[in-house]
Amino acid sequence: MAQLAGVSQTTVSLVLGGKADDVAISAETRRKVLGAAERLGYVPDPAASRLAAARNNLLGVFSFTATFPTDVQHSYYPFLVGVEQEAAAQGFDLVLFTGSSTGGARAGAHALHRARLADGCLVLGRHAPADQLRRLVDDGFPVVHLGRRDEPEGLAWVGADYVTAARAVVGDLVARGHREVVLVCEDDPVPASTDRERGFHEGLLAAGVPTGPERVHRCADPERDLTPARLRAWLAAGVTAIVVEETDTSAAWRALNTAVSDAGLDCPRDVSLALLGSPPPDHEGPVPTGFDLPRARLGAAAVRALAALVAGGRPDEPLVECAFRPGATVGPPPR
């Protein structure tokens, strides 16, 4: 390549690496190099440039569930929409590390290490092994986790602002006159869950409604737990609105809806329901009041954060705002 252009390998590197601005290279030489590169279809080897301690404009994407699962419901597709757009905007290509989920031959104790091929790495899915992540982080390798995460320490993340979003939903309930509100959540103390719970309490407190742990109903098995009987007990105790945490399966939301109709009740006439998240794709009936996760924007924000890290800077605001979704499942308290 260098020979064909009639220049040294250094010059090629300078021109193609964009360092031509800093070092000053004659337009003539530049033209020669670019011309030759084009004719040959020459592109610097990313592994080589990586090895020589430069960057290769590659961002890795590691997902600990199939990136394109057959079951679209749990897919990262919506995130990737934003990831791709922002990566393109920032001049990065994406490396999809495959098979990290399938537990195949490549999913070893060091699967994450493959990420080092790229300049930095995005990690999706909360099943990413903390020890492997820690190693990357400790080595100063740029990693951004999609979703709030406390471990390992020092890991950068980008997540949805569940606290604010939940607060807004509860605020809406209180503004409509509800005072006795209950939170139903599944028993899985991940940040996404505890954040919503915090927002729930904050929303009530901000409106001057006293709250406490007694308002939170944690259930391991929503189907057996959220029965018509339980529902009637709540109503009898004065509860007028129920807030449900969204989970992968939406089990609690489904169970509660079933319980309402099985009890011969109507939502929102007899009881108001709010969903802290998006309804499942197969949801029927009125749109649940709640909030939507801005998945594409989250993906984009993650890429921006990662780009900042790669460039040697610090990512800024890790929280992305959720959009309040006015629905049809909340009304004034009965009577």
14, 122, 158, 243: which one binds DNA (CB under 7 A): 14
Three-state secondary structure readout of the chain: CHHHHCCCHHHHHHHHCCCHHHHCCCHHHHHHHHHHHHHHCCCCCHHHHHHCCCCCCEEEEEECCCCCCCCHHHCCHHHHHHHHHHHHHHCCEEEEECCCCCCCCCCCCCHHHHHHHCCEEEEECCCCCHHHHHHHHHCCCCEEEECCCCCCCCCEEEEECHHHHHHHHHHHHHHCCCCCEEEEEECCCCHHHHHHHHHHHHHHHHCCCCCCHHHEEEECCHHHHCCHHHHHHHHHCCCCEEEEECCCCCHHHHHHHHHHHHCCCCCCCCCEEEEECCCCCCCCCCCCEEEECCHHHHHHHHHHHHHHHHCCCCCCCCEECCEEECCCCCCCCCC
Q: Is residue 110 involved in binding its own copies (CB under 8 A)?
A: yes
Q: Is residue 57 involved in binding DNA (CB under 7 A)?
A: no
Q: Is residue 31 involved in binding its own copies (CB under 8 A)?
A: no
Q: Is residue 13 involved in binding its own copies (CB under 8 A)?
A: no
With CB under 8 A as the contact rule, which of the stretches 131-139, 167-175, 237-245, 250-258 interacts with its own copies?
131-139
Q: How far is the CB of 19 from DNA (least distance, A)?
A: 6
Toward DNA, which CB reaches closer, 15 or 267?
15
Q: How far is the CB of 56 from DNA (least distance, A)?
A: 8
Q: Is residue 45 involved in binding its own copies (CB under 8 A)?
A: yes
14, 92, 246, 250: which one binds its own copies (CB under 8 A): 92
9, 73, 249, 261: which one binds DNA (CB under 7 A): 9
Applying CB under 8 A, the residues found at the interface with its own copies are 38, 41-43, 45-48, 50-51, 56, 58, 66-70, 72, 77, 80-81, 83-85, 87-89, 91-99, 102, 104-106, 110, 113-114, 116-117, 135-136, 139, 141, 296
